[in-house]
Amino acid sequence: MPSIKEKAEAWLIQNRKTLRLYRDSTIYYPLVGFADEPKMYISLSNQELEIGYIKDIWYSPCSPEPTKYKKHVMHMTDHLSVEDQTEQILGLLLKTIQSRKRQYRSCQYCGKKVNPEHRYDKDTCHGCATYHHGVKY
């Protein structure tokens, strides 16, 4: 089974043409097989590469709004080879992935890995908070 680095590198190599061809473009990388499969993103605009992840922001109690959360910015330059740029981008993407994965915790009741936006407290997901603590959302 390929490692996270191998999967991310293959995805990046496959999608780097999209970033170069379409200015102001965004590509998404889901962490397949991890928890709720959070999405990382890479955006390019005006020679600036932005790497981050999608997190839910609760503007209302009804449903969250998926929002980009920027972790890293890299200025694209012509003096680096495509391979060197890919290596730098991959390094930042892997840091972003590890950062997002560290935010997940297992619910003390159901055992599911849950991101902080969907937890009542550090050890309880929203669903279990409703069931076990009577919290109403």
The string of pLDDT tens digits covering residues 85-101 is: 889 999 999 999 999 99
Q: How many other C-beta atoms are found inside a 10 Å radius of the C-beta of residue 129? A: 18
Give the torsion sign (CA, 115, 116, 119, 124).
Answer: positive
d(CA 128, CA 108): 9
- Give the burial class of 23: count Cβ atoms within 10 A of its Cβ; 0-12 exposed, 13-18 middle, 19 or more buried: exposed
Q: How many CB atoms lie within 10 A of CB 30?
A: 13
Q: What is the mean pLDDT of residues 44-62?
A: 87
Tell me the whole-structure pTM to 2 decimals.
0.86
pLDDT above 70: residue 22: no
Given pLDDT bands bounded at 50, 70 and 90, which one contains residue 19? low
20 confidence band (pLDDT: 50, 70, 90)? low
